[in-house]
Structure 1
Amino acid sequence: MKADHYDEFAASYDTENSGSLLNAWYERPAMLRLAGDVRGRKILDAGCGSGPLSVELRDRGAHMSGFDGSPAMVELARGKLGDDVPLVVADLAQPLPYADDSFDDVVASLVLHYLEDWEPPLAELHRVLKPGGRLIVSVNHPLARPFLFPDEGYFGTRQFTDEFEFAGQPGTLTFWHRPLHAMSDAFAATGFSITSMAEPAPSPDTPTELLPPRIASGERSAFVSFLFFVLEAR
């Protein structure tokens, strides 16, 4: 799927993203916890979308830059971040318009699972990171799809399509499933070491009405949706 496919429903996606369980109360809080204290750090938001993660990191003292393949998403992000945060339209599957060793951290929030081949984009993100810099990643959990569709199997790398509704507007997204070992192999092949991996619970501040019943009742504390990594550039 080309990133500019998001142009068709950018505004409704942004509206949904701002308050949904999976984005606002689960994925984004987890990314911020993993990032920790970012004051004074130069951070690239790779696949920034409409900019909500960049806003949070900037407000915590980071010096942000960002790019996305969707011009409509970049315009929405500019509306949130103003002119002080440099944002460009760029494709993660192509060479990036940044010098070597430019950033302390890169955040890649729900981006890599759109790509069939991870190694070229990971190599580019490694290039723009300073030695010892961090790449903080969230992706579809590799067990989620096989759990819901066991006939599809787990070990292959394959494409699949899901239908969504974003603030009342339908949208179709195409992803690539890959098993955990394929993820770790791609990280290792491009010079990254895994320093932590997380399967978090939703934020404790999540409105109860948004939680699945078994989480809201306290029977369970978490669910399988996304998988999170903190990687170090060797």
Structure 2
Amino acid sequence: MDSIPANRRLWNRISSAYQREHDPQIGATPRLWGMYSIPDAHVQALGDVTGKRVLELGCGAGQWSRALAAEGADVVGLDLSEAQLAAAKASMGTPCYPLVQGAAEHLPFADDSFDLVFCDFGGLSWAPPHRAVPQAARVLRRGGRLVFNVASPWFETCYDEATARVTTTLHQDYFGLHTIAEGDDATSYQLTYGDWIRVLRAADLIIDDLIEPRPDPGTRNGYNETDPPDWAHHWPAEALWVTHKT
């Protein structure tokens, strides 16, 4: 299944509205993970990036890439959408970093090019993991790390299509998780915990940690409706995988 053309069209269409809604939060403070804007300082997933060669898969308007470049990382921001890359270029400031249009499942980089590949949703939510994870592993140097945040399978199985919100009832088939129709023929991807482990191990990646970020009570989900509002304080909404290449 080739989801690249439809996903590119979707993000070109929604880029302006997406950035208008979310950049005031994620653009104002560096290193925020996911739907609940959990600071990386709380979970310590990335660590010090000074002097490291870093690739962001699905950089959007460059909120993460801009912050890491300012910390002294040698960053490359990759995104499928030219509209998202235009937003990143417009907000880049100093220091500058390169932007590349491309897909996570077909990375246009040489083997052993990066010390860190990461994404917050982005490339590993919008590309087939069995294709994108081996590509990320290929461009990592030995000992390099792949760190990525995706929606938890719990979150997906509790999503009620009829009301467009996450509830306390199971609505989806856990063992049927794979592709998610996003409208306009676009597709996002989700795996069970076991399938994520198998995909990572097949790419010779060692799992160092699986962080399930837990927001404080009352923390608003910036992207989805949940019932109850503090859903993610009680059940894992996201899975933040920390791995390294053997």
TM-score range, shorter chain: 0.7 to 0.9
Q: Is the contact made by 1:135 and 1:232 (CA closer than 8 Å) also made in structure 2?
A: yes
**Corresponding position of 2:90:** 79
Q: 1:173 to 1:26 in 2, by over 3 A?
A: farther
TM-score with structure 2 length normalisation?
Answer: 0.76
Q: Secondary structure at the match of 1:38?
A: coil
Partner Cα separation in structure 2 for residue 47 and residue 181 of structure 1:
24
Residue 45 of structure 1: CA displacement?
A: 0.7
Aligned identity (percent) is 26
Partner Cα separation in structure 1 for residue 34 and residue 125 of structure 2:
19
The residue type equivalent to 2:96 in the other structure is D
**Corresponding position of 1:193:** 206
What pairs with 1:60-99 in structure 2 (closer than 5 Å)? 60-82=71-93, 84-94=96-106, 96-99=107-110
**Corresponding position of 2:51:** 40
The residue type equivalent to 2:239 in the other structure is L
| Candidates 6, 9, 12, aligned match of 2:14 | 9
How many aligned positions are there?
Answer: 219
What runs of 5+ residues in structure 2 fail to find an aligned partner? 27-31, 161-169
| Range moving further from structure 2, 19-28 or 192-201 | 19-28
**Corresponding position of 2:154:** 143
What CA RMSD, in Å, does the superposition of the two structures yield over aligned residues? 3.0
**Corresponding position of 1:127:** 138
What runs of 5+ residues in structure 1 fail to find an aligned partner? 164-170
More helix by share: 1
Higher relative contact order (CA 8 A, sep 6+): 1
The residue type equivalent to 1:86 in the other structure is P
Q: 1:178 to 1:209 in 2, by over 3 A?
A: closer
User: Is 1:230 paired with 2:235?
Assistant: no
